[in-house]
Amino acid sequence: MATPYDFPSDLLAGQEELHQVRAELSALLKRLPWSVVPLDGFSDDNGWRKVERPASPGWTEDEQAEVEKLRQREHELAVFVSGHRFWSEMAGSDRVDARTRLKHTHGASEGS
């Protein structure tokens, strides 16, 4: 049976926001052109697989600012979650198990 952990509410909230920020950043990066700066398209079939990219108009200043804002928030949250005082209360192997369970609490709490 899995060991239940009594995660502090601020740690749970930080982990949930980290999931949300990462999902938002991933979705944004998928929508943006492949290159930050304007570049011509290319085709390269000299490697083990063919790589093609269309011309990229680059990112606007607003898009660059949005990506930077999300990356900064992701970093802040990752530092908060990984450096939380809760982890100092646990032994090494328990800490690994608890950290793994924390990463997956968002799916379990929504289904309950």
pLDDT (tens digit per residue) in 70-94:
999 999 999 999 999 999 988 888 9
Any idea which residue has 């949005």 for tokens?
66
* pLDDT score recorded for residue 3: 59
What is the value of pTM for the model shown?
0.83
- Give the span between the Cα atoms of 89 and 68, in whole angstroms: 34
Considering just the CA atoms, what is the radius of gyration of the chain in Å? 20
pLDDT range class, residue 1, cuts 50, 70, 90: very low
Q: How far apart are CA 75 and CA 86, in angstroms?
A: 19
Give residue 30's Cα distance to chain centre: 13
- DSSP code of 39? B
